[in-house]
Amino acid sequence: MRVAPWAGPARVEPDPARAIICVMAVDPQVQTILDGLAVAAAEGPSLAEQTPDEVRASFAMMAMLGTPEDVASVEDSTVAGPAGDLPIRIYRPATEGTLPALVWYHGGGFVIGDLDSHDAVCRSLANRAGCVVIAVDYRLAPEHPFPAAPDDAIAAFDALRSRAGAFGIDPDRMATGGDSAGGNLAAVVANARRGDVAFQLLIYPVTDMNRTSQSYRDNAEGYLLSAEMMTWFEGHYTGGAHLDDPRVSPLFEEDLSGVAPAFLLTAEFDPLRDEGEAYGKRLVDAGVPVEMRRYDGMVHGFFQMNAMVDAADVALDEAGDALRRGLA
C-alpha cells in the first residue's frame, strides 16, 4: 500500500495525470475480499434482478469488515426532520466537557446503508478526532427519492445546531462528513450552510451523477463498486431530477467560495475517483483550504474495512487527525 504524499497542510491541487503514470495493483488484502465477493456474486442474481431490500441485506455484511472500538457512550435518539423524526446515533469519546461534533451521513448510493452499517467507522472517528460523532439515518430511495435525502441531511444539521447545548456539542465547531453518497450529502449541507459548517470530511464522495469520468471507464467493474451499480443507484434515487442540479451533483455548484475547509479522500480503483478529485480542485480554485489523499491500491468502501485492510486504519487515523485539527 502506498499513500499519496501530502504537499503540506495548506491547499493541495490534485494531479489528474498521476493515475495514468503511477497505476498500481490492487492491495493484496483488498484483493482477498474482492475474490470472496466475486464468488458470492457468481452464485446469486445480478444487481438488476435484485430489489433494494435484497441489496440492503447484502450490504449489511459490510459492517463485519470494520473493527468496532469502545467509546465512552453510544445513544440512540431522534431529531426533527421535514417528514417526521429522523433517527440519530450519538457517539461520545472519553473526553469531558462541551465538544466539537461531526454530523455523519452514511454511504450506500442513497438506497442502502443505515446506522448499523457504519457503526464501526463512527466509533473510530469519535476516538481518533476526540469529538462527538452524530450519525443521521436519512430517508432512502426509492421509497423516498431526491430531494428527501438532502432535505433530511440539512434539517438534521440545523436541528442539532439549534439544540447543541442539549447534545453537549459546540455549535461553532460542527463538521459534516460521510462516505460516497454520504460524502455527497456532507458537501450539500456544507454548501447550504456556509458559515455554520466548520469543516468537511469527504470520503470518496459522489459529486457528479452523470458518471462520465475516466475513472468510470478505468474501474467500471471488478472493484467492489461498479459502473452498473452506480447506474442502479441513480435510477432509484434521482426521480427525474436534473443530474446537474448541485444538490444532486455538488460538482456543479456555481460558487464554492466561503465553503468550509475540507479533507477529501479518494481511492485509486474507484469509479468515483476522478469526480472526487475534480470537486477538490473546484474547492481549491474557490480559495477553500483542502487536504487531499488518494490511496493507491484501494477500492471504494475500503474505509470501512479496517478489520482486514491495514490501509483502512491508516486512513481512519488521517481522517481523524484532519478532523481534530479542522475543529480545533
In this predicted structure, the answer to whether residue 316 has a pLDDT above a threshold of 50 is yes
* pLDDT mean over 288-310: 97
Q: How far apart are CA 149 and CA 78, in angstroms?
A: 16
pTM: 0.92
For the packed helices 119-129 and 310-326, what is the interaxial angle rounded to 10 degrees?
50
Count the Cβ atoms, other than its own, within 10 Å of residue 211.
Answer: 19
In this predicted structure, the answer to whether residue 306 has a pLDDT above a threshold of 90 is yes
Q: How far apart are CA 328 and CA 148, in angstroms?
A: 32
* pLDDT mean over 134-159: 98
Q: How far apart are CA 155 and CA 282, in angstroms?
A: 26
For 226-280, write each residue's pLDDT tens digit.
999 999 999 999 999 999 999 999 999 999 999 999 999 999 999 999 999 999 9
Which residue numbers are catalytic?
180, 270, 300
DSSP line for 9-71:
SS-----TTHHHHT--PPPHHHHHHHHHHHHHHHTS--GGGS-HHHHHHHHGGGGGGS-----
At 64, the pLDDT band (50, 70, 90 cuts) reads confident
In this predicted structure, the answer to whether residue 2 has a pLDDT above a threshold of 70 is no
**Amino acid 1: pLDDT:** 35
**Amino acid 60: pLDDT:** 81
**Amino acid 215: pLDDT:** 98
| Closest by Cα among 122, 7, 15 to 75 | 122
**Amino acid 44: pLDDT:** 78
| Closest by Cα among 63, 42, 227, 240 to 142 | 240
Q: How far apart are CA 76 and CA 119, in angstroms?
A: 12
Q: Any idea which of 36-40, 52-56, 95-99 has the lowest mean pLDDT?
A: 36-40
In this predicted structure, the answer to whether residue 308 has a pLDDT above a threshold of 80 is yes
**Amino acid 8: pLDDT:** 29
Residue 130 region by backbone torsions, left for phi larger than 0, else alpha for psi between -120 and 50, else beta? left
Partners of residue 2 on adjacent β-strands: 296
Q: 279 with 251: CB under 8 angstroms?
A: yes
Q: How far apart are CA 267 and CA 106, in angstroms?
A: 17
SS3 at position 114:
coil
In this predicted structure, the answer to whether residue 14 has a pLDDT above a threshold of 80 is no
* pLDDT mean over 158-183: 98
User: Which amino acid would we find at residue 315?
Assistant: A
**Percent of the chain at pLDDT exceeding 70:** 93
* pLDDT mean over 204-211: 98
**Amino acid 23: pLDDT:** 53
Q: How far apart are CA 13 and CA 7, in angstroms?
A: 9
For 80-128, write each residue's pLDDT tens digit.
999 999 999 999 999 989 999 999 999 999 999 999 999 999 999 999 9
In this predicted structure, the answer to whether residue 290 has a pLDDT above a threshold of 80 is yes
**Amino acid 5: pLDDT:** 32
In this predicted structure, the answer to whether residue 73 has a pLDDT above a threshold of 70 is yes
* pLDDT mean over 46-66: 84
